Structure 1
Amino acid sequence: MLLQVYDGNIHPDEWLRQFNAYCFLKKITEDNVKLAKMMIDSTIHVPKDVTSLTELVSALKAEVSFTVFKNTSKRKLQVLKYKSENIGGDTSKFIETFRKLCRDAEIDDLKEQKEYFVETLPYTLRKKFLDIIDDIESLSDLILRFNKLLIGPALSTNIKNGSVVALKHVSTGKYLSTIENLRYETGSKSQMVYLGGSELDRSSLWIIKFDKDFATTDTYINLQQRFGKFDKFLGMRYYYEYSARKYYYSSPSNHLEVSCNIMKKNYSDNNWRFDFCDLNNQGYLKPNDIITLSTKNEILNDRYEYLRGHDYQVTIGGEIYYEVICHDKVIGANDNWCIELIEEP
């Protein structure tokens, strides 16, 4: 065990614990305060009249570096995110990190600890955890409840009609999203569909609908907006002009526009077919399958248009959004979507 220099990047209480452990192992019983002062970085101010380890720790806590350390720990808590093992996370290490950051930030209030913990969770877990959080009485109880939640019943192996799903764009890790009243300023001026953030939220949730219990590649699906005032579905939209000829609206980048609209009777522009990117997959649609989505072009009936995440930026209301379009070109990486099962019907 090495004796650690205190440089303001460890909590003083934790540094003192390690210092005392070192002295115990080395059987150092005299001049402990003098030794401790020698192990403090020269950039840290320590008053000369400090005569005990208790006074030394108090002086370190009053020093400006400790204020910076606590605020840094709070910011780390604010950006800490939980990832499950199936996407490369480690629950045990996450809990260790969370507890240490609470200690380092000196967050002892249970209500505040709950608030920070909830913000670390992805949307699906957050919603479930909020249902059980009220009667939690300690941080240990919080961790036990969370662990119990993780080992609860798993979701089905196949996606059912009426399930709530999310579509993650494989190339960017961003979710297919839509917001009520966010509309294109050109084209159809319909509700916009775009690539949202890499963290799941309510704007990224869709209800998947089809006419069977489970979906295969010969099943047409609809994707209904999960939150909003109206019964809106993902699709393309056309208009009539010049002797009743149909024309699809163009996106700001002059591709086929994709939007979220009320589905009218007999409209097929909201019907999507999917194909597995794994050519050996001939089964039912399952969580975490990588798929492509396409819809039939109602003007050119022998053609299908593929849903693509695009890097074109659209500015609406002063905010920048990444466009989602349809195309009939060669299928590429930007056409791949990972379907995630969020809730069963």
Structure 2
Amino acid sequence: MIHPSINVSKANTFEEISNTLKNDIFFISFKHSVKEKLQKLKFDPKDKIYVQFINIFREYCYEAEINVEKQKKLLLENFIKEQKLIRFGSCITLKHVATGKYLTSCNVRYKTGSGRRIVFASQTLSKPNSLWIILGFDQKNENNPIIYGKSKVNFINKGVNESIFISDYYKSPSTGNWEESDSTNNDDICIKSKEIINIRNMNENFILRSHEFHFTFENETYQEIGGHKGRVDENDKWCIELFESE
């Protein structure tokens, strides 16, 4: 039954009636609401019930009157977006959210403390020193598994081929935080590219932090990276992103 508010008296064919109904403001609003649902619909790689996702996707497309070509594009974009997951073996960057600088290492060594190569926050993305390879803590990376929020991992710097760690013995040169992890912490979910994470070491629970404090080695100034045991705040947030070679 057609609602009395919709005037179809001038329609002579079924197609004209259909077009009149489709041009009604309530139907247009309905289509917009379905399109919003479609935009929020996300493919979960952990969910093996792909048929359910496809059925819901097709239902929304039908209700929103989306043609086949547009459906293909939306479906492909959804799969590609959700497949950008961080995995063992991934090459990534770690960008400090508060300062916008990249976690970086180089061949300069600490003059005191551990004597290891320094880790600092760089204004620019320096290849390969700002690139990190994720390896499993036990060095086993069979089948390229997905990284979860509480995964224990090693970040291996691509430039100097050393892993990052937060010392529980040596202090950082500027603020006296712990000198410079082995695990990410972002609840028990898949970690996707461009997600915000915290990084902490496995044993003492020191959290990786940066800030606007600097230290100087050999006439070069570096933004300090350190570990702390205090409350997590904005200085402890890092944006992890897959690095895709140009």
Letter in 1 for 2:87: K
SS in 1 for 2:163: strand
**CA deviation string 1:183-228 (max 9, x = no partner):** 1122112100000114453211000112560111231011001123
Residue segments in structure 2 that go unaligned for 5+ positions in a row: 1-76
CA contact (8 A) 2:102 2:122 kept: yes
- How many Å separate the matches in 2 of 1:251 and 1:295? 16
SS in 1 for 2:206: strand
Question: How does the TM-score come out when normalised to structure 2?
Answer: 0.59
1:323-338, aligned counterparts within 5 Å? 323-338=224-239
Residue 121 of structure 2: which of 177, 195, 203 is its match? 195
Q: Partner of 1:158 in structure 2?
A: 85
Residue 292 of structure 1: which of 176, 191, 198 is its match? 198
Tell me by how many angstroms 1:316 deviates. 0.4
- How many Å separate the matches in 1 of 2:126 and 2:110? 23
Q: CA-atom RMSD, angstroms?
A: 2.4
Structure 1 ranges of 4+ moved more than 4 A: none
Q: Does 1:174 align with 2:104?
A: no
- How many Å separate the matches in 2 of 1:199 and 1:169? 12
Bigger Cα Rg: 1
Q: Does 1:321 align with 2:242?
A: no
Q: Partner of 2:131 in structure 1?
A: 205
Q: Does 1:217 align with 2:149?
A: yes
SS in 2 for 1:234: coil
CA contact (8 A) 2:105 2:159 kept: no
**CA deviation string 1:219-259 (max 9, x = no partner):** 1011001123xx41000346xxxxxxxxx11111211001x
Residue 232 of structure 1: which of 162, 171, 178 is its match? 162
Residue segments in structure 1 that go unaligned for 5+ positions in a row: 1-150, 239-247, 259-269, 277-281, 298-302
1:1-345, aligned counterparts within 5 Å? 156-180=83-107, 182-210=108-136, 211=140, 213-228=145-160, 231-237=161-167, 248-252=169-173, 253-258=175-180, 270-275=181-186, 282-297=188-203, 303-343=204-244
Tell me by how many angstroms 1:154 deviates. 5.9
- How many Å separate the matches in 2 of 1:343 and 1:207? 12
Q: How many residues align?
A: 160
- How many Å separate the matches in 2 of 1:237 and 1:330? 18
CA contact (8 A) 1:159 1:285 kept: yes
The percent identity for this pair of structures is 31
CA contact (8 A) 1:224 1:233 kept: yes
CA contact (8 A) 2:91 2:243 kept: yes
Query: Could you say which structure has the higher helix fraction?
Result: 1
Tell me by how many angstroms 1:273 deviates. 3.1
Letter in 2 for 1:162: G
Question: How does the TM-score come out when normalised to structure 1?
Answer: 0.43
